[in-house]
Amino acid sequence: MIVGTRLSRLAAGRLLPGMASRCAHTERKVQVPDTGDLHIVESGSGSRSLLLMPGALGSAWTDFKPQIEQLPKLLPDHTIIAWDPPGYGKSVPPQRKFGLDFFREDAEAAVKLMRALNRPKFSVLGWSDGGITALILAGRHADAVEKLAIWGAGAYLNKDEVQSLQAIRDVAKWSPRMREPMEKVYGVERFAQLWGEWVDAACEFYKQRDGDFCRSEVEQVKAPVFILHGKKDPMIAPEHVPWLKQRLPNALYHEFPDGKHNIHLRYAEEFNKLVADFFRGKE
CB-based burial, 59-93: b 16+ in 10 Å, e otherwise = bbbbbbbbbbbbbbebbeebbbbbbbbbbbbbbbe
Please answer whether residues 149 and 278 qualify as being in contact, where contact means their C-beta atoms are separated by less than 8 angstroms. yes
Classified as helix, coil or strand, 34 is coil
Which of 233, 240, 254, 264 is flagged as catalytic? 233
Mark whether 128 is an active-site residue.
yes
CA distance 178 to 174: 6
The secondary structure of residue 95, as a DSSP letter, is P
Please answer whether residues 103 and 213 qualify as being in contact, where contact means their C-beta atoms are separated by less than 8 angstroms. yes
CA distance 157 to 1: 6
Mark whether 175 is an active-site residue.
no
Nearest-5° Cα angle at 197, 194 to 201: 140
**CA torsion sign, 122 to 118 to 52 to 275?**
positive
Mark whether 261 is an active-site residue.
yes
Which of 141, 229, 240, 261 is flagged as catalytic? 261
Q: What is the DSSP code string of 228-244? A: EEETT-SSS-TTHHHHH
Which of 128, 129, 141, 229 is flagged as catalytic? 128
Q: What is the DSSP code string of 98-163? A: -STTHHHHHHHHHHHHHHHTT--SEEEEEETHHHHHHHHHHHH-TTTEEEEEEES--SB--HHHHH
Catalytic residues: 128, 233, 261
